Amino acid sequence: MTIAVYGAGGIGCYIGGRLAAGGSEVVFIGRQRLADEVAEHGLHLTDYLGADLVVPAVRFETTPAAAGEADLVLVTVKSAGTATAADELATVLKPGATVVSFQNGIRNGEVLHERLPEQTVLTGMVPFNVLNRGGGAFHQGTQGKLDVQKHAALEPYAEAFTRAGLPLTQHDEILPVQWAKLLLNLNNPVNALSDLPLRDELAQRAYRRCLAAAQTETLTLLKAAGIKPAQVTGVPPQRLPGLLSLPDFIFKRLAGKMLAIDPLARTSMWEDLQAGRRTEIDYLNGEVVRLAESLGRSAPINAKLIELIRKAESGTSPAIPGPTLLKLITS
């Protein structure tokens, strides 16, 4: 069985690389820049637990046609590119192929499903962060396993993911899991605006209070919409804002696992800003704003974070200290 990673960037190269290291036949499909990098260096995959894997020979293609031979396609493009990716895949995929969205946001699986009626389309979620260190090196800096919508079509591939060290956790209902992940991803703009590694940012109460404020606003809207996010960490979602708001010395003692993040860990939004790319803010905090609008309400804290990231995308926003950022989003 051939597995294709469509839109192979940080997440795609890491997941696909782990699968290849475990013995699966994987074809990566992405941009020429990364294809050249991987052709020169291969893949070097590490994680916070000490894994250190090298895949010297990697098949990396740059055209959609390479996905035509795949039985399983993992879509890892940025959310803004989902519709385009779906239209490209529709022209080449074999009927009955299984497609899994491993992307941020809430609605990517729906977009793929609408445009790929002859394939089995499932929604997945990647709960961990991957840092592109350059030279074909990708590092998983936080804990987590792969979550995916439960379906019999995944059974032939379950062993491959387990061999790769990325076992699939299948869920009857994926939407509560997606919202739980999005609650955690509300930290992406906070981290990007701090210009700090994740561990250093979360060690500062002011930044944690920014995240807590965004989460509290989101939890209120989810309750109004009748959506109960799943518990994907050791703490129920409703208790996260309170935990994050604790003084530093208490938080460090009670949330040691959260602070046990690898020193290298960064968010993808920080990487996008550093590279001068447009971020996925519309598919993270933007989902909260859209949920509020659907309820006839507003989400001023998440809206303000979107505004600040838009300024940062233009290259006009330096790193913002925690107390300043907290004042900006809550005043």
Coil/strand/helix, residue 68: helix
> Each residue of 132-147: pLDDT tens digit?
999 999 999 888 889 9
> pTM for the whole thing?
0.91
Report the pLDDT averaged over residues 176-187.
95
**CA-to-CA dists, residue 291 to 75, 155, 177, 236, 295, angstroms:** 25, 34, 16, 21, 7
Average pLDDT, the chain: 95
Beta-sheet strands, E only, within 108-266: 120-125, 130-134, 137-140, 146-149, 168-171
Give residue 189's pLDDT: 97
What percentage of residues in the chain have a pLDDT greater than 70?
98
283 neighbors 125 (Cβ within 8 angstroms): no
- Long-range interactions of 117-120: CB distance < 8 A, separation 24+: 118/93, 119/73, 119/89, 119/93, 119/95, 120/96, 120/151, 120/153
> Each residue of 151-175: pLDDT tens digit?
999 999 999 999 999 999 999 999 9
DSSP-assigned letters across all residues of 136-175: TEEEE-S---EEEE--GGGGGGHHHHHHTT--EEEES--H
Give residue 317's pLDDT: 72
Domains of the chain by start residue, with CATH: 2-172 (3.40.50.720), 177-330 (1.10.1040.10)
Binned at pLDDT 50, 70 and 90, residue 234 comes out as confident
Q: Indicate whether 20 pLDDT > 70.
A: yes
What percentage of residues in the chain have a pLDDT greater than 90?
89
Distance CA 305, CA 326 (A): 10
Give residue 255's pLDDT: 79
